[in-house]
Amino acid sequence: MPRLVIADVTKVYTLPRNGTALPALGPVNFTVDEGEFVTLLGPSGCGKSSLLRIVAGLEAASSGVATFDGEPIQGPSSRRGMVFQEYALPPWKTVQDNVELGLKFRGVSKARRREIAARYITLVGLVGFEDRYPHELSGGMRQRCALARTLANDAELLLMDEPFGAVDATTREIIQGELLRIWGEHLSPRERKTVLFVTHSIDEAIYLSDRVVVMSRRPGVIKEVYADPLPRPRTDEVRSSPEFLKARDHLWSLVRDEALRAMTERVD
């Protein structure tokens, strides 16, 4: 069975200034298997982040249902961990304290928290920065800290909303490789976390994913579920391979018209 099932999910918002209904999403249907890395790709406003928040349990679907391991998602759970673009790190807490935060809320002992945090701080390459505060870290380091915090909570499903959107292009490519290493692309699917990732970047989607779910402009529906042809593990050299360039051309052809139309639409 797929671990995550999205079945006829829709989302409609109400504009506060006039009470107009604004359909943002759906209906959307797709699944994510155990250990799979699936990316949502589409123009701004197509409902990618709304769908991710529904899977996280932070918002309710207007209709349809999202299930994880066969159970309807009805609220947040430590089994589903969210990594935001804005890092969401309390600025008054050190790297060590931020990574331990979720464990502390769950009542894990201090000694055990330290042990778990040390493992994931090492995994994301932040050893030596345990006592630093977020403002003392680069954007890439802050995002690695946020990832370590999510992993420390032992989430089975990682939900990542444009996590590298706030860093420069070079750092972004480096962190993409680090994410695949941490995720464990050398491992079997049963040994990996399941990932649902949101991005506007076609190149990022191709480099990271097993499958790419391409969405239309608002209200977002699925145009195509694209199986990424690139073998794993992936190296920087794959970005210039004929397979990568062919995948980019195909996804660009799907996204381009939707993005142009989205730019000209008005919300009345």
Q: Is residue 253 part of a domain?
A: no
Say what the pLDDT of residue 239 is: 93
Of residues 145 and 88, more confidence is placed in: 145
Residue 170's pLDDT band, with cuts at 50, 70 and 90, is confident
Q: Is residue 119 part of a domain?
A: yes
Range of the domain at 170: 4-45+53-206+220-240
Q: Is residue 13 part of a domain?
A: yes
Q: Read off the pLDDT of residues 203-218 as tens digits, 9 standing for 90 and up.
A: 999 999 999 999 998 8
Q: Is residue 160 part of a domain?
A: yes
Averaged confidence pLDDT in the chain: 90
Say what the pLDDT of residue 266 is: 56
Q: Tell me the CA distances in angstroms from 132 to 95, 98, 99, 168, 222, one per residue in order.
A: 6, 10, 12, 21, 42
Instruction: Give the predicted TM-score (pTM) of the model.
Output: 0.89
Count of the separate structural domains present in the chain: 1
**pLDDT, mean of residues 11-16:** 89
Q: For 108, left (φ over 0), alpha (ψ -120 to 50), or beta?
A: beta
Quote the CA–CA distance of 220 and 25 in Å, as a whole number.
5
User: Would you state the structure tokens that stand for residue 115, as one six-digit string?
Assistant: 């042990």
Say what the pLDDT of residue 104 is: 87
Say what the pLDDT of residue 268 is: 46
On the CB side of 219, CA atoms within 13 Å amount to 14
CATH code of 124's domain? 3.40.50.300
Say what the pLDDT of residue 182 is: 84
Percentage of the chain beyond pLDDT 70 is 97
Of residues 182 and 61, more confidence is placed in: 61
Quote the CA–CA distance of 157 and 139 in Å, as a whole number.
24
DSSP letter at 3 equals: S
Q: Is residue 265 part of a domain?
A: no
Q: Read off the pLDDT of residues 101-126 as tens digits, 9 standing for 90 and up.
A: 888 888 889 999 999 999 889 988 89
Q: Read off the pLDDT of residues 21-67 as tens digits, 9 standing for 90 and up.
A: 889 998 999 999 999 999 999 988 889 999 999 999 999 999 999 99
Residue 87's pLDDT band, with cuts at 50, 70 and 90, is low
Q: Is residue 255 part of a domain?
A: no
